[in-house]
Amino acid sequence: MHIVDILLLVIKSEPREELRGRTLLQKKIYFLSVLLKENFGFSAHYYGPYSSFVAEHLDGLVNYGVIKEVTESFTTALVERNTFGEIRRHTYSLTDDAAEIWEATQQKPEFQEWNEALQSINERKISQNFNMLSIAAKVHYIISWQGQSTIEEVKQIAEEYGWDVDEDDIENVLSFLKELGLVTTDESDDIPF
């Protein structure tokens, strides 16, 4: 499917049909791209795997009035509690102008496959927590490049990327990655990809 269709699908599949946060959007599309073996140009970034291709298409859809973007600024107290120190959050929803495109998207032959993959992500508790989903994406990104790794090795590589990921974080996201079939673990603390 085209990235425009995927952006609409991800937003439309959210509770109340609005998605809160660019990081959450990027990470859901990252995991979709991994599950369905699609290359959207994700590379290492401060918030984990990031795709300028995805960001550019999102901005284009906002500029064309297909997607509505609402920006919310955080107070100092909220910024301090936020893992990434973000000072604002963007919330996305489809406009009335998206209706025709959305109808066409749902008719595409590959729509069902993408929708099912997204539902497998969304049915996990972690899917609404952008901090944990970002950590899961970072861990998966490292393992996908390194192959079999220990939790300590993943932590060390994360530090090289400038990512603050501790052992508890890694252990907390492993069940999500296992449920999606993206990693397996054994008793030796290795995480094979």
Do 173 and 116 belong to one domain?
no
Q: Which of 123, 153, 181 is the last residue of a domain?
A: 123
Tell me the per-residue pLDDT of 90-135, one tens digit each, with 9 for 90 and over.
999 999 999 999 999 999 999 999 999 999 999 999 999 999 999 9
Which two three-digit tokens encode residue 153?
A: 């090795």
My answer on whether 132 and 181 are in the same domain is yes
Query: pLDDT tier at 184 (50, 70, 90 boundaries)?
Result: confident
Contact 27, 136 (CB under 8 A): yes
Q: Taking the CA of residue 84 as centre, how many other CA atoms within 13 Å lie in the half-sphere pointing to its CB?
A: 21
User: Is 166 found in the same domain as 118?
Assistant: no
Contact 91, 69 (CB under 8 A): yes
**What's the total number of domains in the chain?**
2
C-alpha dist (Å) from residue 106 to 39, 100, 103, 148: 21, 10, 5, 38
pLDDT tier at 147, thresholds 50, 70, 90: confident
Q: What is the pTM of this model?
A: 0.89
Task: Looking at the structure, tell me whether residues 134 and 117 fall in a common domain.
Answer: no
Alpha helices, H only, 42-81: 52-63, 76-81
Mean pLDDT of 2-7: 98
Same domain, 37 and 90: yes
Tell me 40's DSSP state: -
Please indicate, yes or no, whether residues 57 and 30 belong to a single structural domain of this protein: yes
Asked if the model's pLDDT at residue 79 lies above 50, the reply is no
118 and 179 co-located in one domain: no
Give the domain extent around 137.
125-193
- pLDDT tens for 8-35 read 999 999 989 999 999 999 999 999 999 9
Read off the pLDDT band of 191 (50, 70, 90): low
